[in-house]
Amino acid sequence: MRVGNKVVNCRTDRSGYVDVVVEKHGLKPGWHEATIRSDDSDAATAPVLIIGPETRYGIISDLDDTCISTMLPRMMIAAWNTLVVHSQARTAVPGMAPFYRELRQMYDDAPVIYLSTGAWNTADTLEDFLQRAGFPKGPMLLTDWGPTNTGWFRSGQEHKRATLRRLWREFPHVHWMLIGDDGQHDPKIYGDFAEDHPDVVEFIALRELTPAEQVLSHGLPVRNEDLLPSESINATTPVYRAPDGYSLAARIKAKHEAEQDREARRPSLRRIAAHNTRRRRR
């Protein structure tokens, strides 16, 4: 594999995928291509995103029921994503693509990373859907769908938890915006991560599923309110809930503008405080 000016020898897993850390590649932040070749195959290229040390914010997003409206039981989503190969068969959650584009404008072109329990062999279809629906381009962190050494199916929860920990280790300078839905495990996974690392979680945003979607997701027509507080997870991590991307964008934009206004007023407040201090000294 060649990434920038670095060439490394690596092995694929049993499914043919490569997961390798490449250091001293010499690439600047942004999108680039890695070239992968073997002795008995043609060269292939793969897009890679380099996140630089100056990157302050990043977005981590779920896919199913967050970006893509599935209206399927969770146990059937993996089969659906594998067997239904046409991106036109999927429907975007209203307002989520504009919401992500607006977040990137507010937060310094924050990179978007799509973290899902979907299978790697659906990556091309998912990428085509995201592009067609107007979502920002971003790396996809998926998993294998099938038996493991300990069971018939891989743990989607553990995949998400392990990936969040890995992103925290590899990019300790990035403040993450965690976006998912309230249908099943996202509130608990994101809440636990925010409790463990409150200094790197900017906020948690959850798309509220409809009662019908809740039934299909986990068998009950109510959201997982007990898994995450409605307003904040701790003193520094707010939680936003809304049924679509438009409402989430409005809530977060209002909070962001209020914070910017307070920051702009601080120099004036400091000057007033200093003036009052001088008057008391007199």
- pLDDT digits 0-9 by tens, 121-141: 888 888 999 999 999 999 999
Question: Please, what is the average pLDDT of the chain?
Answer: 82
Q: Which domain holds residue 70?
A: 53-264
Structure tokens at 66: 């967050």
For residue 281, being part of any structural domain is answered with no
Structure tokens at 216: 């299909």
Same domain, 39 and 74: no
For residue 214, being part of any structural domain is answered with yes
Same domain, 154 and 63: yes
pLDDT(213) > 80: no
CA distance readout (Å), 79 to 75, 104, 150, 158:
8, 32, 20, 19
d(CA 26, CA 44): 20
Same domain, 115 and 40: no
**Per-residue confidence (pLDDT) for residue 54, from 0 to 100:** 95
Same domain, 119 and 1: no
**Per-residue confidence (pLDDT) for residue 122, from 0 to 100:** 82
State the CATH number of the domain containing residue 86: 3.40.50.1000
**Per-residue confidence (pLDDT) for residue 220, from 0 to 100:** 59
Of 107, 138, 114, 167, the closest CA to residue 30 belongs to 138
Same domain, 248 and 152: yes
Residue 32 identity (one-letter amino acid): H
Q: What is the pTM of this model?
A: 0.83
Q: Give 30's strand partners.
A: 50
Same domain, 35 and 138: no
pLDDT tens digits for 240-280? 999 999 999 999 999 888 888 887 877 655 555 555 655 55
For residue 10, being part of any structural domain is answered with yes
For residue 6, being part of any structural domain is answered with yes
CA distance readout (Å), 114 to 30, 123, 170:
17, 11, 16
Domains: count for the chain: 2
Same domain, 43 and 60: no
**Per-residue confidence (pLDDT) for residue 79, from 0 to 100:** 54
Q: Give 177's strand partners.
A: 59, 203
Same domain, 71 and 190: yes
For residue 275, being part of any structural domain is answered with no
For residue 37, being part of any structural domain is answered with yes
Same domain, 27 and 164: no
d(CA 17, CA 247): 38
Q: Is 164 left (phi over 0), alpha (psi -120 to 50) or beta?
A: alpha
Total residues found in the chain within this entry = 282
For residue 73, being part of any structural domain is answered with yes
> What is the number of other CB atoms lying within 10 angstroms of the CB of residue 3?
22
Same domain, 187 and 219: yes
Same domain, 125 and 246: yes
d(CA 64, CA 96): 12
Same domain, 164 and 70: yes
Any residues with CB less than 8 A from the CB of 83 and at least 6 apart, and which? Answer: none
> What is the number of other CB atoms lying within 10 angstroms of the CB of residue 158?
12
For residue 277, being part of any structural domain is answered with no
